[in-house]
Homo-oligomer: A and B are copies of this chain.
């Protein structure tokens, strides 16, 4: 499964070259602010294909989709890709379920390959599996091509969560009708942004899906709900938890980098220490490169070796900190840091030098979404975070979005549309059948729902879990708590389906 990362305006400044209509990409030198919000989904999700052989069998289909569900403007339709498997489906007669993964900001094949859980439990449920692609990602491009879809603010304007949910609703309704499967219960799955979509879809379209497993879904990571320091505090705590000295070295490193950069030949020296392929232009570039490694590490801090974004050992933060800590006393902070991040950037040892430009900060669909409705304010506290201190500044965020995308964010809209502060209160009496699963190592967990809301809207929280680990395929190294988590999730999903059947039987026999 795939994590997800919000982009802040700061980050947007570092990318942008992909997009033709970007006016001016501010040079990194102009920036003094903290800009390490990770954004791996951009390039990873859109460019990467499954690295390993995809063992899940499915057909690839396309659905002619409405571009704007909420107006009747005369717009072209587009082809939405979806992956479908009916191999284990027991058909409409048995009202066998439909497992529907809410595709997020990337190529759907990548999500399908990284969401083993859904494929693995489908046979025991006799379930159909559908993985629809999110509009404007992968091969589901309005206007016929990525180039045209991403051409300008007008062509991008239909890239919203509400439109994506409506795509899912329309596709599901049509699929069910074509397969005479109107009575078959739909269970939604999603991780990260996809988990947000799954939860929101269950709330907004309760007549279409009977429940949702929303894994690592930070639906509260918006304006004035959770403190903006949350994300970086969690990353920092993940490091401190492994080693206080490691945390301290990292926290000290920023000033060390700055100090070095101010020296004559300092940038050249940094270039050498960090084995960069090209000469460093600014210390900010280096800090960003390091910061994003830490954030990604926190997200994929899995208890077994994985190759999600980068090949990594089990418990990678522990390994990073071991590297940082285990040096002769006289080793400089910068050398320690380099040895640590090498775990992330060069675990295989195959990299001779590092290209900061390779950092997946490219302008992506998510950047647009972050500049329109997905405004997730993030700050870094000078007291509790190991990152450079940074206060989220909405004015400059807005300014940069306008400069880069010709668009003005609507930071309050998501809360108005999906519920912000009052969501949990509302959910107590409205809504049911949602699992919010979170691992507390995951920096996104702070923006999610961590306590049971009602009898049927429940939080499944694991202390040792990272970003939607529950949705990943089973491995031989899965710890007990993960096996238990999945067993619980299967049990809850089964209860939803059983209670749906009871309801159906009751209404038929009436």
Which residues of B lie under 8 Å from residue A413 when comparing CB positions? 69, 170
Q: Which residue in B72, B160, B422, B507 is a CB contact (below 8 Å) of A157? A: B72
A372 to B73, CA, bound (A): 11
A162 at the interface (CB under 8 A from B): yes
How many chain A residues touch the partner (CB < 8 A)?
Answer: 57
| Beta-carbon contact of B425 and A207 below 8 Å | yes
Q: How far is the CA of A158 from the CA of B70 in the complex (A)?
A: 7
User: Could you tell me if A204 and B204 are in contact, using CB atoms closer than 8 angstroms?
Assistant: yes
Interface residue SS majority, chain A = loop
- A407 located at the interface, meaning its Cβ lies under 8 Å from any Cβ of chain B in the complex: yes
A206 on the B face (CB < 8 A)? yes
A276 contacts the other chain (Cβ, under 8 Å)? Answer: no
**Cβ of A177 to closest chain B Cβ, rounded Å:** 9
State the CA gap A170–B426 with chains docked (Å): 17
CA distance A486 to B97 in the complex (A): 43
Report chain B residues within 8 Å CB of A157: 71-74
A207 to B204, CA, bound (A): 12
Of residues 388 to 440 in A, which have CB atoms within 8 Å of B's CB atoms? 406-407, 410, 412-413, 415-423, 425-433
- Asked if A300 is at the interface (CB within 8 A of a chain B CB), the reply is no
Interchain CB contact under 8 A, A207 and B426: yes
A68 is an interface residue with CB less than 8 A from chain B: yes
Q: Which B residue sits closest to A68, measured CB to CB? A: B71
- Give the one of A413, A423, A429 with max B CB within 10 A: A429
The verdict on A163 contacting chain B, using a C-beta distance below 8 Å, is yes
Is A26 among interface residues, defined by CB-CB distance under 8 A?
no
When all copies of this chain in the complex are counted, the total is 2
Task: Answer whether residue A19 sits at the interface, using C-beta atoms and an 8 A cutoff.
Answer: no
Q: Which of B163, B430, B503 contacts A206 (CB 8 A)?
A: B430
Knowing A156-B72, A406-B74, A432-B430, say if A412 contacts B173 (CB, 8 Å).
Answer: yes
Q: How far is the CA of A417 from the CA of B204 in the complex (A)?
A: 8
Residue of chain B at shortest CB distance from A161:
B70
Complex contact A69–B70 (CB within 8 A) = yes
Are B162 and A70 in contact, CB atoms less than 8 angstroms apart? yes
Whether, in the assembled complex, A493 has its beta carbon less than 8 Å from a beta carbon of chain B, the answer is no
A residues touching B (Cβ–Cβ < 8 Å)? 66, 68-74, 153-154, 156-158, 160, 162-163, 166, 169-170, 173, 182, 203-208, 372-373, 406-407, 410, 412-413, 415-423, 425-433, 456, 499, 503-504, 507
Would you give 24 A-B contacts (Cβ < 8 Å), ordered by A? Answer: A66-B410, A69-B70, A69-B162, A69-B413, A70-B71, A70-B162, A70-B163, A72-B410, A73-B157, A74-B153, A74-B406, A169-B417, A173-B412, A173-B416, A206-B426, A206-B430, A207-B419, A207-B422, A208-B419, A425-B503, A425-B504, A429-B456, A429-B503, A430-B432
- In the A-B complex, the 3 residue pairs with the smallest Cβ-Cβ separation, listed nearest first, are A207-B419, A206-B430, A70-B70
Q: A166-B416, A207-B420 are in contact. List 8 more A-B contacts (CB 8 A).
A: A66-B410, A70-B160, A70-B162, A72-B160, A73-B157, A74-B153, A173-B415, A428-B503
